[in-house]
Amino acid sequence: MKLNKIIIAIDGYSACGKSTTAKEVAKILGYRYIDSGAMYRAVTLYFLDHHIALTNPKEVDRALQQINISFKVNAKNITETFLNGLSVEQEIRQMRVSEQVSPVSTLKAVREAMVAQQRKLGKDKGIVMDGRDIGTVVFPQAELKLFMTADMLVRAFRRQREWLEQDRLVDLDDVIENIKKRDLIDTTRAESPLRQAGDATVIDTTHITIDEQVDQVIRMAISKIIAL
């Protein structure tokens, strides 16, 4: 039996478990996982390395034409982000990128370029994409929309632990400060700010485990697939 495929859009604040959930859900359903935040991070890395002035639209446009972002699944079954043919999966998670990614993501030209690419990736459906504007702007027609949220301290601890697993010790106060700054910029920017789509289901991950999050999403996805 050939099942119909859907688009699953997962939006929400930084460090709420969006990508961990999205990756696992994609694996279970045999769907493609796209981390749209990684695309904004890759653009930010390019801008930092090439000293692009965010206030100079011509420079930004020229830089965007030089940027090619792609994803490949590696031997460990992990999706890696490539910038102009080179894996930047580790580099885009560094603090210097995390500190600049929200300002870069406010630029209209950057968003237009990313949204166009994201829509191409989703044209055949069978995709789980996480980000800030996936259910509102990129795929307003997505069959399943989720909005994830969690308590600030829980989010900060989770992010700090992720970094510790990579042997990077970051002060909890610095993690909280970075998350708060990004929340503020992401929710108040003029271009497609982070907001819950009217037809999105909220998942508060403060008191639930990753497995429970994944179960909830899979159950909702199956109902949508069956109803098609």
Residues of this chain that bind ligand DC (CB under 6 A): 14, 36-37, 40-41, 101-102, 105, 131-134, 182, 186
In the complex, least distance from residue 25 CB atom to ligand DC, rounded to whole angstroms: 16
Give the Cα separation of 5 and 228 in Å (integer). Answer: 9
Q: Which residue is it, tokens 């199956």?
A: 222
Contact 60, 66 (CB under 8 A): no
In the complex, least distance from residue 204 CB atom to ligand DC, rounded to whole angstroms: 18
Phi, psi of 73 (to 5 degrees): -90, 125
Pick 99 or 215: Cβ nearer ligand DC = 99
Pick 3 or 116: Cβ nearer ligand DC = 116
Q: Please report which helix (H) or strand (E) contains residue 148, including its range.
A: strand 144-149
Pick 118 or 220: Cβ nearer ligand DC = 118
In the complex, least distance from residue 133 CB atom to ligand DC, rounded to whole angstroms: 5
Q: Which residue is it, tokens 């179960």?
A: 215
In the complex, least distance from residue 43 CB atom to ligand DC, rounded to whole angstroms: 9
Helix (H, G, I), strand (E, B) or coil at 46: helix
Give the Cα separation of 25 and 8 in Å (integer). Answer: 9
79-83 and 69-73 as β-strands: parallel, antiparallel, unpaired? antiparallel
In the complex, least distance from residue 160 CB atom to ligand DC, rounded to whole angstroms: 14
Pick 31 or 40: Cβ nearer ligand DC = 40
Listed in sequence order, the residues at least 6 apart from 109 whose beta carbon sits closer than 8 Å to its beta carbon are 57, 60, 61, 64
Pick 158 or 222: Cβ nearer ligand DC = 158
Phi, psi of 80 (to 5 degrees): -110, 145
Pick 140 or 222: Cβ nearer ligand DC = 140
Going 85 to 44 to 89 to 32, the CA torsion angle's sign is negative
CB count within 10 Å of CB 215 equals: 15
In the complex, least distance from residue 2 CB atom to ligand DC, rounded to whole angstroms: 30
